[in-house]
Copies of this chain bind each other. A is one copy, B any other.
Amino acid sequence: MTSELTQVQVSLGDRSYPIFIGAGTFQQVDIASHISGTKVLIVTNETVAPLYLEMLKHQLSEKQVDTVVLADGEQYKNLDTLNLIFDQLIGSHHDRKTTLIALGGGVVGDMTGFAAASYQRGVPFIQIPTTLLAQVDSSVGGKTAVNHAMGKNMIGAFYQPQAVIIDTNTLATLPDREFHAGLAEVIKYGLIVDADFFQWLESNIDNLLQRNEQALAYAIELSCKSKARVVAEDETEQGIRAILNLGHTFGHAIETFQGYKQWIHGEAVAAGMVMAAALSVTVGDLAVEDLHRIKHLLHRCSLPIAPPLDMAVDDFMTLMVRDKKVLDGQLRLVLLKRLGEACVTDQFSIDHLNRVLIDACSPL
C-alpha cells in the first residue's frame, strides 16, 4: 500500500532536515540521495531485521552496506551495546564519510544517533523509525542517548539526522502494546501545544485504534509538526523544549524503579502525564474535568493511568531528584496551564507534590 507523501521540515539552519511521512515511503523516497559517502552501517534489532532489513538493503544496493543487529529492548540501551556498534564500524573500516542508518524503534534510534554523534567525533545518520513512538517522538529533534544504570538518557548528545523516513506501513506489524505506548506520545502533543488536536484525538480514537491509514498519517504528521516547531525554537533545551517532557520526570522514575524491564516508555509516560496533570489541578491551573478527559483518552488506549502498585512516594522522590530537569538542586516539572498549553516550572510546593504522589501511590 502506498499513499501520497507528506513532508515536514525541521528548521535548524545548516542542520535542517526533512521528515517524510506516508504509506510506502521505503519505496518512494530515494534514501541513497541522502547519503554522501559510499559506506553505510544499518543498525537494527532482532525483531525489526527479519521484517525490513532486506528491503532497505535492496534500496542501497550501490553502497557498501554493513549491518549490526542488536538485541531488542530498553535494557540494552547502554554503553556496552553502543560498543557493539563501534566494534562493527571499526572492524569494517568505516571512516568519517560513512552514514549510519537507524532502522527500528526509539532504542535503536537513540543509540544509533549517539553512535553517529561520537564515532570519529561525528558522522552523518538517517532515522528510519518503525514504531509509532519513534515516528512521532524520538526520531525527530536530535536527542540521542544511552541509559546509565542509575538514570535514563544520562549519556548522549544533541545531534541531528540528515533525514527521517516514516513508513506508516511498518505500523501494521507493531504489537498492540507498543502501538498503544506510541499513542501516549501522540496524545502528549495535544496536551502541551494543541487543544484542537486533543479534541480530534478524542473524536477519532476508534479509527486510530483500528490503525486506519488516513487517521494514522494525520496523527503522525501533526505530532511531527508540533515537535519540529518546538525543536526549531529551542534545539538544545535551554527552555521551552522541555515541555516535550510532559510526564517524563514521573515516567523516568517508574522506568528506573523497574530497571527498564516492565513497563515500556510510553506506558510510563502515560501514567506520568496523569500525575503531571493531577499536580496541575492541585496547583489550581488545570480544570479537574480536563484531568478526567485525559485519563479517559489514555484509558481508551489501554494505557496505565496510575503508577505501578509496588511504587511508594519515597521511590518517586528519590528517583526524581536525579532528573535532567533538576537545575542547581531545584526540581522543575512540566505542568499544564490548561489543555493545549504547558510550561516548565518549579512553582509548586513539596506539599502539592506530596499530595499528588500519595494519591497516585494509594491502592484503589
Contacts and interface: CB of A to CB of B under 8 A. Distances in A.
B117 A157 contact: yes
B157 A120 contact: no
Contact of A119 (B93, B154, B321): B154
Given A79-B83, A95-B329, A148-B86, A324 B154 contact: no
A299 B38 CA distance: 43
Interface string A55-93: 000000000000000000000000100110011011101
A93 B322 contact: yes
A84 to B, nearest CB: 11
A150 interface: yes
Contacts of A4: none
| Count of identical protomers in the assembly | 2
A118 B155 contact: yes
Contact of A156 (B90, B121, B321): B121
A327 B86 contact: no
A158 B328 contact: no
Contacts of A322: 90, 93
Contacts of A237: 121
Secondary structure call for the A interface: mixed
B90 A37 contact: no
A148 B90 contact: yes
A32 to B, nearest CB: 15
Nearest to A118: B155
A90 B146 CA distance: 14
A96 B89 CA distance: 31
Contacts of A91: 150
A99 to B, nearest CB: 12
Nearest to A39: B328
B96 A327 contact: yes
A122 B158 contact: yes
Contact of A328 (B97, B321, B324, B326): B97
B143 A95 contact: no
Interface in A90-123: 90-91, 93, 95-97, 114, 117-122
A327 B121 CA distance: 14
A182 interface: no
Smallest CB-CB A-B distances: 4 pairs: A90-B150, A95-B326, A121-B156, A120-B324
Interface of A: 37-39, 79, 82-83, 86-87, 89-91, 93, 95-97, 114, 117-122, 143-145, 148, 150-151, 154-158, 236-237, 321-322, 324, 326-329
17 contacts: A79-B79, A79-B83, A90-B150, A90-B322, A93-B322, A93-B326, A95-B328, A118-B118, A118-B156, A119-B154, A119-B155, A120-B156, A121-B144, A121-B145, A121-B156, A122-B157, A157-B157
